[in-house]
Amino acid sequence: MSHDDFDVEPIKGLPEHLPEGEHILWQGSPDWWVLARESLALYWVGGYFVVLYLWRVIVATETMSLPQAAVASSFFLVLGAVVCALLAVTSLVQAKAAVYTVTNRRVVLRIGAALTMTLNLPYTWIGNANLDLRKSGTGTIAFELMGTTRFSYLLCWPHVRPWRIARTEPAFRCIPDAAKVARLIAEAAETRVSEPKIARVPDEDTLAAE
């Protein structure tokens, strides 16, 4: 019998139904391979083990032939492959668990593989959105928050702007068509922030009764 931890969601990626007047403009998730490269430094880790292997081969050639040194040092390549595989699986799980949502009133991040959490960021909380765009079209959109709103860097990782620890910036990490999503957010935020707030003014009869 299959089980889905997110069956309780009335709408994918959202903890509750949207209020009247709010609608979804976009939903997406990180590209798991790009997430592995950028947030988990997959290439750097792989390169580190290759360097260890080559260094060990050079050292070993002082006491044995090159083919023997290459075989004797292969442990580092095997270990590197295991570590890279674990990083790739971690990235895949993180990407599958994450759902980013853009509505006409806010952005929402449902994140976390082991500990699931939902971040609701109304446009009135966001001071700025920074786009880090790659040549492939994937990119990261980080949200600078105004006021005293704070989130834990560790709990939100890797869905944060790297190294902004003191004032964590939640982020849509490694999403496809990032420029298009950024424009969508900018337009929705501008519309929402400039939306007039209408307050009911008591009529004359009500004032007279008081």
C-alpha distances out from residue 191 to 61, 74, 108, 173, 185, Å: 68, 59, 17, 24, 10
pLDDT of 143 reads 95
3 band by pLDDT with thresholds 50, 70 and 90: very low
Sequence-ordered alpha helix ranges (H) in 130-177:
153-156
Whether the predicted model's global pTM rises above the 0.75 cut: yes
pLDDT of 97 reads 93
Q: Tell me which of 71, 93, 115 is where a domain ends.
A: 93
Residue 85 included in any domain = yes
pLDDT of 196 reads 61
pLDDT of 8 reads 66
User: Is 183 a residue whose pLDDT tops 90?
Assistant: yes
Range of the domain at 152: 24-31+99-193
Are 65 and 108 in a shared domain?
A: no
pLDDT of 37 reads 93
Are 78 and 115 in a shared domain?
A: no
What confidence tens digit (pLDDT) does each residue in 81-134 have? 999 999 999 999 999 999 999 999 999 999 988 788 999 999 999 989 999 999
Are 111 and 169 in a shared domain?
A: yes
Are 119 and 181 in a shared domain?
A: yes
Q: How many CA atoms lie within 13 A of 16 on its CB side?
A: 6
Are 105 and 180 in a shared domain?
A: yes
Domain tally, the chain? 2
Are 182 and 131 in a shared domain?
A: yes
13 band by pLDDT with thresholds 50, 70 and 90: confident
Of the chain, the percentage scoring pLDDT greater than 90 comes to 62
- Token output for 137: 């079209």
Cis peptide before 158 (omega within 30 of 0): yes
Tell me what the mean pLDDT of segment 22-30 comes to. Answer: 95
pLDDT of 122 reads 94
Mean pLDDT of the chain: 87
pLDDT of 1 reads 42
Contacting residues for 63 by C-beta, under 8 A, at least 6 apart: none
Are 103 and 187 in a shared domain?
A: yes
Tell me what the mean pLDDT of segment 181-192 comes to. Answer: 91
